[in-house]
A and B are shown apart, each in its own frame.
Chain A
């Protein structure tokens, strides 16, 4: 990549930072002790998680009947939450893989946390396919394994089976991708650790990374290959999730736009969740110089774009539902029937939270405002939950036969499990924020001199940018040795 950068690009690292400052800033939350607020947040999340686990045990022990499902609406909160969590996970891969392919340097401050979010969100998502089974103890039957039933195998025609492969592949690839990127950062923590136990742990986690030129060369090659593989993977995973619905013959579910539309929605909701998390994290971990206003703005632009794609898809769904001339299409989640029926509140929540509210981000002042960004990101998270709920519950509530029309009311167990997954997610994320380098320091160091505020200013003033510290200590990439 070129070493020249146009002066009109905004700096990505603020302040007069040296390589050492970056290390210090990123290692600080790991090396210091947690404060009171962290413990409060952690215990609240833990309580929610334990409550959720209780609800899960209750469901499995007593039966699915403790949920609000009925014989017509066999999927509601369970699959809504599943799709919602999978969708949230997608932004992580998008940031680390797609933005890498597009050479977006601003991804470097956010990719680590976005990937962590992916993994923790996929954990939550992964719970639902198991716990919504009537007989979860037979869950392993979904795997095509030779067995004693005359080698009875699975039917590969079901999108629910594709889900198994998609989610498990997605989780494993994301995990490997994330961990590979962590190696140089764990090595950095290892090298700084003063407590023997801590040193031992990070020595184990960093797999003996020593940062030689050959290692870096292969590291970059691997990152690029994994990014190239993760991009079609991320598209296919949510595509397969969308096919749970789109392959069916239910009006409102059977729609060919679902694959790209679900993916766009996933990026939309995933970025909203990244905004929610980073909006807080940058403050509490004092990383405001790395996760800057500009990062927030760029993420908001991605939100406008994907939100726009989703809006076009809504319009298409609405239009084609009418264009088909099929009377059944009038009760689908995006139809006049839905807007005026018993679930009108869910329909309008979707429109307001997902389409109308995010349009505020067209205004530059708003998309550069932390507080407005935070509020809108929450609105999108709610809106995207409603999108999935509407697709699933509204469509199932009014099928082909009027004698099967029914409504869905969640029970406290439905709600409890959802709250539990939110708690579980935050338990994992809070632990992560205390033990993992939340910013990829090795990557940020590669852009410090091209995109750091200090260096950019000096270049503008025509002052030569001397190295701030001794070059021998710099862990830089192979192609960025000494040319400026």
Chain B
């Protein structure tokens, strides 16, 4: 059995506290009134640093576009000139108010999504009757323990959105579907069958419930499998339930990405979006599995894991990085090529205001991993995998950042205490949840019929380092 070390526990708690302080600071420094927001902007501009100025220019552009769309929706041209300044201030105020919420949301979605995709990857391993990954099952199960706290925080965020504590989802604002109201938005009104607060909240809860139900079930039954001497009955049941989960996952994942991310830009749509989010989270999830595996192995907690297992995980990191790029490029290129205004605004905002993260992300998520992890030897060397993985994880955090931030805070983005604090907070929760769950069960799933295959797993061109010759035939 693995012992969750006091040091690691202290570290995770320290991260949670530190992160919580950062989050609190973010909320504390957000403006409470439009005047305060003006002051913050003025303060930024007076500093005269390039950062703020360049943002200011673009922000005005972006705002004009927003206003333009709104005007079209109103069908009332006179609104443009008069209310422009006041509307603009209000707009910036909302963006600044959204900043701490968005910082929290980006990190939350990133960690929740990773836990969810680890769960999906685990279900796939079961359904595919994989012979290599069984010794990693307990690692994956432990990571999915993080699904519970992140889901609870997600429920809180859902409540916050519903209670109008923030302005993250513009379609939830008051009056968007009331004809004649100054916030009236004909486009949102047109899809109010889907975009309505009760429906959104109920769907959100249902997704979380389905995922957590499967996690709870499979974790419990996986441990039961260890001691069950029932001729494979529980194993078979777990198989069937995993098939059912993958079926539901395919549907809920798409809908979740429409509800939680695409809905932030209520005028924009892309059919690929759900799978694009999936790819981003999937590659991050495999990377996290590799990280936790490498760490636990270095502590001697995973005696059956050899370099071939690491090699396979690194292959998935490599393959899914390419897959993510494929979907990223497909979505970007098709929208760029056809250049239909209602779709292109999405990338215009990102290209103008988020140029560095938008482009750097492609380097981190594609160029770097493909160069580093192409070599077969490198894929079985833990520190290479860790370096590749750090870049991949950071790259996909930026990916989620660029999905969410332009919609909620626009040009007012920055990476500061609130963003870093949120990351540390969820990292602390992740470490605590993962390792305390791992310490609670036998690290080797003894009852799995493929365990022996997994223990003997040896990818033929991997030289085994530091392993007894008895490990493989």
Contact = CB atoms under 8 A, between A and B. Distances in A.
A256 B331 contact: yes
B250 A259 contact: no
B447 interface: no
A300 B149 CA distance: 39
A309 B271 contact: no
A248 B194 contact: no
B337 A4 contact: no
Nearest to A264: B275
Interface centre among A7, A249, A316 (most CB of B within 10 A): A316
Contact of B269 (A235, A313, A324): A324
Interface in A83-104: 101
A254 interface: yes
Contacts of A247: 334, 337-338
Contact of B449 (A8, A259, A324): A8
Contact of B275 (A5, A260, A308): A260
B254 A316 contact: yes
A373 B254 CA distance: 30
B272 A4 contact: no
Q: B319, B338, B450, B459: which has the most chain A beta carbons within 10 Å?
A: B338
A247 B458 CA distance: 45
Contact of B456 (A4, A248, A255, A479): A4
A5 B456 CA distance: 9
A244 to B, nearest CB: 12
B193 to A, nearest CB: 9
A1 B312 CA distance: 12
B291 to A, nearest CB: 23
A308 B247 contact: yes
A249 B344 CA distance: 13
A200 interface: no
Task: Please tell me the size bucket of the interface on A.
Answer: 35 or more
Given A243-B334, A256-B271, A256-B330, A312 B460 contact: no
B449 A312 contact: no
A249 B452 contact: no
A259 B326 contact: yes
A257 B338 contact: no
B232 A309 contact: no
A457 interface: no
B245 interface: no
Interface in A192-234: 232
Nearest to B453: A6
Interface in A298-325: 308-309, 312-313, 315-317, 319-320, 322-325
Given A6-B452, A309-B250, A259 B458 contact: no
A256 B232 CA distance: 44
A28 to B, nearest CB: 32
B272 A1 contact: no
A249 B340 contact: yes
A2 interface: yes
A325 B191 contact: yes
Contacts of B274: 316
Contacts of A479: 460
B401 to A, nearest CB: 21
Interface in B116-138: 129, 131
B116 to A, nearest CB: 17
Interface in B240-289: 247, 250-251, 254, 258, 269-275
Interface in B293-335: 319, 322, 326-327, 330-331, 334-335
Nearest to A8: B449
A458 interface: no
B381 interface: no
A325 B271 contact: no
B473 A3 contact: yes
B76 to A, nearest CB: 19
A342 to B, nearest CB: 25
B187 interface: yes
B250 A6 contact: no
Nearest to A317: B271
B254 A254 contact: no
A320 B449 contact: no
B472 interface: yes
B292 to A, nearest CB: 23
A246 interface: yes
Contacts of B251: 312, 315
A233 B335 CA distance: 22
A163 B327 CA distance: 19
Q: From A7, A101, A246, name the one whose CB has the most chain B CB atoms within 10 angstroms.
A: A246
B272 A483 contact: no
A246 B334 contact: yes
A248 to B, nearest CB: 7
Contact of A2 (B187, B254, B273, B456): B456
Nearest to A1: B460
Contacts of B275: 257, 260
Nearest to A250: B338
User: Which of B274, B330, B340, B472 is most buried by chain A, counting CB atoms within 10 A of its CB?
Assistant: B330
B453 A2 contact: yes
B270 A325 contact: no
A243 B330 CA distance: 9
A312 B250 contact: yes
B335 A2 contact: no
Contact of A308 (B250, B269, B472): B250
**Among B271, B319, B322: residue with most chain A CB under 10 A:** B271
Contacts of A315: 251
A239 interface: yes
Interface in A1-39: 1-9
A172 to B, nearest CB: 22
A259 B335 CA distance: 13
A101 B319 CA distance: 11
B211 interface: no
A-B pairs with lowest CB-CB distance, top 10 = A257-B271, A256-B272, A259-B330, A2-B456, A325-B190, A4-B456, A257-B272, A247-B337, A256-B331, A256-B270
Given A3-B456, A5-B131, A258-B271, 19 more contacts: A2-B458, A6-B450, A6-B452, A6-B453, A9-B129, A232-B322, A256-B270, A256-B334, A257-B275, A260-B275, A260-B326, A260-B330, A316-B271, A316-B274, A323-B194, A323-B258, A325-B187, A325-B191, A483-B473
11 contacts: A2-B131, A3-B456, A6-B450, A101-B319, A256-B271, A257-B271, A260-B326, A260-B330, A316-B254, A316-B274, A320-B271
